């Protein structure tokens, strides 16, 4: 169920809104911004960068995660906010969910919101139950 943006998410929302304006989206026509908060409390942003081959497109969520890694190295994401102009707000796509799983804190919250402030927040474990994580590669 969607509700209005809680005050606790305002900083993430504003960061995603600012970077959303830099999106390169000539094919979909939809600008998307994302902001991730790491376990250090820092916020990193990303916008969608489309490509004419479509498969080479980078979603805002992955760009934000790559930005965080480029600046901090090994990260744990505690919150991720995705901002679109769509109603209802869009959640991360399947490819983004897999990338998120690589760096997700065990209590990671995903916040899908739009420019009207409509917001849906879910635990990542509910969005991608039984995610394939690095833990599987170390299990014996």
**Any idea which residues carry the catalytic annotation?**
61
CA pair distance 98, 110, nearest whole angstrom:
13
- Longest Cα–Cα distance of the chain, Å, equals 48
Phi/psi at 130 (nearest 5 deg)?
Answer: 55, 45
Six-digit token string for 89? 């707000």
Six-digit token string for 64? 């934000």
CA pair distance 125, 103, nearest whole angstrom:
13
Q: Which of 99, 98, 126 is nearest to 111 (CA)?
A: 126
């Amino acid at each position: 169920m969607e509700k209005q943006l809680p005050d606790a998410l305002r900083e993430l929302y504003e960061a995603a809104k600012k970077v959303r304006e830099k999106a390169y989206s000539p094919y979909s026509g939809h600008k998307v911004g994302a902001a991730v908060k790491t376990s250090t409390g820092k916020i990193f942003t990303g916008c969608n960068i489309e490509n004419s081959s479509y498969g080479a497109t980078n979603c805002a969520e992955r760009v934000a995660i790559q930005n965080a890694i480029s600046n901090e190295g090994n990260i744990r994401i505690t919150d991720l906010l995705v901002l679109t102009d769509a109603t209802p707000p869009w959640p991360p796509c399947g490819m983004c969910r897999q990338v998120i799983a690589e760096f997700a804190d065990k209590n990671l919250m995903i916040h899908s919101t739009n420019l009207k402030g409509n917001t849906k927040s879910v635990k990542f474990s509910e969005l991608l139950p039984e995610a394939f994580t690095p833990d599987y590669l170390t299990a014996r």
